[in-house]
Amino acid sequence: MVKKILVIEDNAPTRNFFVECLKAGGFYTIDAEDGKLGIQKAQKQLPDLIICDIVMPETNGYDVLATLRSNPLTAIIPFIFVSCKGERPDLRKGMELGADDYLTKPCMGEELLSAIATRLKKQATLLQWSSSENQRSDSPSTKAASASSPQSIFPECPQMIEIFNFIESNYHQPITLCDVAQAFGYSPAYLTSLVRQHTGESIYRWIVKRRMAQALFLLQETDQAVNQIAEAVGYKDAGHFSRQFRQFYDTTPQGWRSTHRIKLETQQYQKN
Neighbours of 235 (CB within 10 A): 20
pLDDT-derived band of residue 227, with 50, 70 and 90 as boundaries? Answer: very high
pLDDT at residue 211 tops 70: yes
159, 205, 208: which is closest to 184 by C-alpha?
Answer: 159
pLDDT tens for each residue of 17-70: 999 999 999 999 999 999 999 999 999 999 999 999 999 988 999 999 988 887
Higher pLDDT, 150 or 114: 114
pLDDT at residue 263 tops 80: no
* Mean pLDDT score of the chain: 83
> What's the pLDDT at 86?
64
pLDDT at residue 185 tops 80: no
CATH fold, domain 148-271, is Arc Repressor Mutant, subunit A (1.10.10)
Higher pLDDT, 193 or 149: 193
Which three-class secondary structure string do you get for the chain? CCCEEEEECCCHHHHHHHHHHHHHCCCEEEEECCHHHHHHHHHHHCCCEEEECCCCCCCCHHHHHHHHHCCCCCCCCCEEEEECCCCHHHHHHHHHCCCCEEEECCCCHHHHHHHHHHHHHHHHHHHHHHHHHHHHHHCHHHHHHHCCCCCCCCCCCHHHHHHHHHHHHHCCCCCCHHHHHHHHCCCHHHHHHHHHHHHCCCHHHHHHHHHHHHHHHHHHHCCCCHHHHHHHCCCCCHHHHHHHHHHHHCCCHHHHHHHHHHHHHHHHHHHC
Contacts by 238-242, CB closer than 8 A, 24 or more apart? 241/215
pLDDT tens for each residue of 237-261: 999 999 999 988 889 999 999 888 7
Least confident of 5-9, 32-36, 134-138, 260-264: 134-138
pLDDT-derived band of residue 150, with 50, 70 and 90 as boundaries? Answer: low
CATH number for the domain whose boundaries are 4-126: 3.40.50.2300
pLDDT at residue 143 tops 50: no
**pLDDT, mean of residues 162-185:** 87
pLDDT-derived band of residue 133, with 50, 70 and 90 as boundaries? Answer: very low
**pLDDT, mean of residues 119-127:** 71
**pLDDT, mean of residues 174-191:** 84
Angle of helix 35-45 versus helix 61-69 axis, rounded to 10:
30
pLDDT-derived band of residue 193, with 50, 70 and 90 as boundaries? Answer: confident
Least confident of 87-101, 125-139, 205-219: 125-139
Q: Domain ranges in the chain?
A: 4-126, 148-271
> What's the pLDDT at 100?
80
pLDDT-derived band of residue 267, with 50, 70 and 90 as boundaries? Answer: low
> What's the pLDDT at 144?
38
> What is d(CA 55, CA 10) in angstroms, rounded to the nearest whole number?
8
Higher pLDDT, 232 or 105: 232
> What's the pLDDT at 120?
84
Angle of helix 88-96 versus helix 61-69 axis, rounded to 10:
20
> What's the pLDDT at 40?
95
> What's the pLDDT at 140?
47
